[in-house]
Amino acid sequence: MINKKKTTIKDIANVLGITPSAVSKALNNHPRISEKTKTDVLQVAKNLNYQPNRLASALRKGKSNLVGVIIPRANSHFFSSIIQKIEDLLNKEGYNIIITQSNESYEKECRSIDALLYTQVDGIIASMANETVKLDYYEKIKSKGIPLILFDRGENDLNVDYIGIDDYQSSQIVIEHLVNQGCKRIAHIAGFSHTRIYKNRIRGYRDALKKFGLPIEDDLIVESNLRIEDGRRIMKQLLKLQNIPDGVYISGDYTALGALQVLQEENINVPNDIALVGFSNESFSSLVTPSISTIEQHSEKIGELAANAFLHRIATKNENVSLNKMILQAELIIRNSSKRK
Amino acid sequence: MINKKKTTIKDIANVLGITPSAVSKALNNHPRISEKTKTDVLQVAKNLNYQPNRLASALRKGKSNLVGVIIPRANSHFFSSIIQKIEDLLNKEGYNIIITQSNESYEKECRSIDALLYTQVDGIIASMANETVKLDYYEKIKSKGIPLILFDRGENDLNVDYIGIDDYQSSQIVIEHLVNQGCKRIAHIAGFSHTRIYKNRIRGYRDALKKFGLPIEDDLIVESNLRIEDGRRIMKQLLKLQNIPDGVYISGDYTALGALQVLQEENINVPNDIALVGFSNESFSSLVTPSISTIEQHSEKIGELAANAFLHRIATKNENVSLNKMILQAELIIRNSSKRK
DNA sequence: AGTTTTTATTCAAACGTTTGAACAATCATT
DNA sequence: AATGATTGTTCAAACGTTTGAATAAAAACT
């Protein structure tokens, strides 16, 4: 039952008594090919169960129809729904996507980039690892003339298309909300400030505190890797302060979960003693008790914009179109961890 | 700065005054090429920043060095750590992997398979969507002679390599544990029984109940899609029974989370009134309150075995090696949701 | 009827690599 | 010194498609 030899355009050509190039043109809907030939070719192609050899076409055209996507990790609602959207849109345009996870490791990210370049992807859509500070590998992508689109974790210095949310403003919204709930002393469990988005969130947090006349203290801002353990560790640390906070803004829901757990272990009432707001709207955030207030980043929209940015780059390859920084407004979802009655 | 033309083996050949085929053989470490030529070629390749054209080589060799991986969704600790491991191992062997998410949809799965076949992957590693009952698309993979490895969600009828855990036995362990905690009436929120793994879990559940002389009632077994909402809905339904259960075994941690939330809303003590055990050891399971007892499926090991199964298939392409069903023992992690003091 | 234009197809080269066969040169064996 | 084996390289074809130029045939215009 297994067909040893695959059918090629040559086989189709033989059946119809025309040349392979005519078949190729017919399949590609070339204007100079007669309607009759086109329908004939399509018919025969179907009969012989013809599957085009993507590799041959890719080689000839110098285009692989593959797009690389680099994310820090797939195990997150935010990233998984972004790649889902990207895959969806790019598949429609005939692209396949190669997803790689950096696991927040710079080293792994570099290896991924090399692998993608070797695979001759037509473009790379990426969100940088937390660890990444050196941009040499990203420069490498650019220097090869391969379209590069960054989302969420990007770098201004790279001068490429970027899609993300307004982190600065998100912090402002969070702080305003906490202030409205009566918080007077707000801590921030932050990501590392060398990453642009976390830096902006910290800036937004500081400026908002200033605006509301609240104390800005170094003890109240702790940077970390934002893993669950970090949330636990830092929350414990905050509780040891002589003057503990009554509100905590946390740059990630996993981290917020860790913090929440510590508070529960210590029998501290959330939100009344300490109110919490997280970030990212993970799938569990609405489901734990108390449910976690958080920032929804509109991941699908980000995915959509990233995919379109890539397609646009490809379509206008050497037209030198100006680059796009697309900044979305994020949305605060108020849940029980910060809603004082 | 951008090098317009890429260097090819021809360029290297010109520099050294030898033929491209000699260069090719040198690069592939052909035994008949002299050591001197090999080192020369490597040197020049480095100088010219030579990057092999994977497409050309793939076309000639009829091998893309791409492997497709199909998972129901990336947003799960189980699947994301499996693909991480697969990627890791296969990258080392020079393969890149294309990940696609079926989102538990049969239709999406079919499209993914078509896309992967079109991309001419060298093999497919897949875990089937819950929805999938027709195996025609998987048969298509087989009929093309492309190695197919299934994990977790597999089908015996397909007769391909399979890696999974012993679902039947996992259920037994769970029930035994719940019985030890004093449960006398144990419900099961199950996946759809048309999927082999869920069928086996149901069978294990039933047989274990029988073994311990506990009641087996249709009302106590509810099949679902295992989403969070399903957990909520079904738990509410179970609480409406005239005779409510005192233990619930749930085939997924997300679902268990939904169920847990309902119990807390109803002020039912977990584990003392109702003990819960989930499945999959999601990242949040240890972190909610009470922490959820669950089955750890050794996802990394599964990923490792799947990758190796693929490599083994490739290595022994036409040797007709017998197929491997690899069944791992799962491990029960006892946490507070089922630990009565 | 002759010339130009249009239409449909073929020709031939190209994309960059791989690979078995062929060849020449060197070395070993008698 | 003649023969055979070994070594290092070249030759040429192949993988399956695409594409611009060339050609042939048909149609349209003088």
Place of tokens 């003392």: B272
A77, A284, A337: which to substitute to probe chain B, counting the most B Cβ within 10 Å? Answer: A284
What pLDDT score does B179 carry?
98
Compute how many other C-beta atoms are within 10 angstroms of the C-beta atom of residue B204: 22
Q: Are residues B218 and B156 in the same domain?
A: no
**Identity of the residue numbered A6:** K
Q: pLDDT of A26-44, one tens digit each? A: 999 999 999 999 999 999 9
Determine the Cα angle at B30 with ends B27 and B32, to 5°.
130
Q: Residue B99 is inside which H or E element, if any?
A: strand B96-101
- Residue in chain B closest to A143 (alpha carbons) equals B2
Distance B8 CA to C9 C1' (A): 34
Minimum-distance residue to C9 (CA–C1'): A22
Q: Are residues B32 and B102 in the same domain?
A: no
Q: Residue A89 is inside which H or E element, if any?
A: helix A77-92
Q: Are residues B138 and B179 in the same domain?
A: no
Residue A142 lies in a domain: yes
Q: pLDDT of B274-332, one tens digit each? A: 999 999 999 888 878 899 999 999 999 999 999 999 999 998 876 777 778 999 999 99
Residue A305 lies in a domain: yes
Strand-strand pairing, B186-191 and B221-224: parallel
B283 contact residues in A (CB cutoff 8 A) = 75, 228, 254
What pLDDT score does A1 carry?
34
B270 contact residues in A (CB cutoff 8 A) = none
What domain range is A27 assigned to? 9-52
B79 contact residues in A (CB cutoff 8 A) = 74
Q: Are residues B309 and B192 in the same domain?
A: no
Does B289 contact A261 at a Cβ distance shorter than 8 Å? yes
Q: In whole angstroms, give the CA distance from residue A105 to residue A87.
A: 23
Output the DSSP codes for A12-48. HHHHHTS-HHHHHHHHTT-TTS-HHHHHHHHHHHHHT
Buried b (16+ CB within 10 A) or exposed e, B296-322: bbbbeebbbbbbbbbbebeeeeeeeee
Q: Are residues A18 and A125 in the same domain?
A: no
A60 touches strand D (CB under 7 A): yes
- Over residues B240-246, the mean pLDDT reads 96
How many separate domains does chain A show?
3
- pTM (2 d.p.): 0.90
Compute how many other C-beta atoms are within 10 angstroms of the C-beta atom of residue B177: 19
Structure tokens at A266: 């210590």
Q: Are residues B34 and B69 in the same domain?
A: no
Diameter of chain A measured on Cα atoms: 90
Structure tokens at A53: 């050899």
In contact, A84 and B101? CB cutoff 8 Å: yes
Give the bridge partners for A331, in sequence order: A296
CATH number for the domain spanning B111: value is 3.40.50.2300
Q: Dihedral (C-alpha) A40, A95, B81, A136: value to the nearest 10 degrees?
A: 150
CATH number for the domain spanning A17: value is 1.10.260.40
Residue A2 lies in a domain: no
Output the DSSP codes for A187-239. EEEEE-TTSHHHHHHHHHHHHHHHHHT----GGGEEEE---HHHHHHHHHHHH
Residue B341 lies in a domain: no
- Over residues B115-129, the mean pLDDT reads 94
Q: Are residues B32 and B129 in the same domain?
A: no
What pLDDT score does B171 carry?
98
Does A55 contact B51 at a Cβ distance shorter than 8 Å? no
Structure tokens at B301: 């090991």
Tell whether the model's pLDDT for residue B4 goes beyond 70: no
What pLDDT score does B1 carry?
34
Residue B58 lies in a domain: no
Tell whether the model's pLDDT for residue B3 goes beyond 60: no
Residue of B55, B75, B97 lying closest to A58 (CB–CB): B55
Q: Are residues B155 and B303 in the same domain?
A: yes
Does A2 contact B143 at a Cβ distance shorter than 8 Å? yes
pLDDT band at B154 (very low <50, low <70, confident <90, very high): confident
Residue B338 lies in a domain: no
Q: Residue A82 is inside which H or E element, if any?
A: helix A77-92
Residue B22 lies in a domain: yes
Residues of chain A (17-56) having a beta carbon less than 7 angstroms from strand C: 17-22, 25, 30, 32-37, 56
Query: How far is C-alpha A7 from the chain's CA centre?
Result: 40
**Identity of the residue numbered A101:** Q
Residue A309 lies in a domain: yes
Q: Are residues A199 and A226 in the same domain?
A: yes
Residues in CB range of A30: below 8 A, 6 or more apart: none
Q: Are residues A217 and A192 in the same domain?
A: yes
- Over residues B83-110, the mean pLDDT reads 93
What pLDDT score does B323 carry?
74
What pLDDT score does A2 carry?
40
Q: Are residues A208 and A278 in the same domain?
A: yes
**Identity of the residue numbered A177:** H
Query: How far is C-alpha A244 from the chain's CA centre?
Result: 35
Strand-strand pairing, A275-277 and A247-250: parallel
Residues in CB range of B86: below 8 A, 6 or more apart: B67, B69, B97, B125, B303, B306, B307
In contact, A296 and A281? CB cutoff 8 Å: yes
Q: pLDDT of B36-71, one tens digit each? A: 999 999 999 999 999 999 999 999 999 999 999 999
Does B64 contact A81 at a Cβ distance shorter than 8 Å? no
In contact, B192 and B160? CB cutoff 8 Å: no
Q: Are residues A184 and A281 in the same domain?
A: yes
Query: Can you give the pLDDT of all 341 residues of chain A as single tens digits?
Result: 344 578 999 999 999 999 999 999 999 999 999 999 999 999 999 999 999 999 999 999 999 999 999 999 888 889 999 999 999 999 999 999 999 999 989 999 999 999 999 999 999 999 999 888 899 999 999 999 899 999 999 877 788 999 999 999 999 999 999 999 999 999 999 999 998 999 999 999 999 999 999 999 999 999 999 988 899 999 999 999 999 999 999 999 999 999 998 998 899 999 999 999 999 999 888 878 899 999 999 999 999 999 999 999 998 876 777 778 999 999 999 999 999 97
A18 touches strand D (CB under 7 A): no
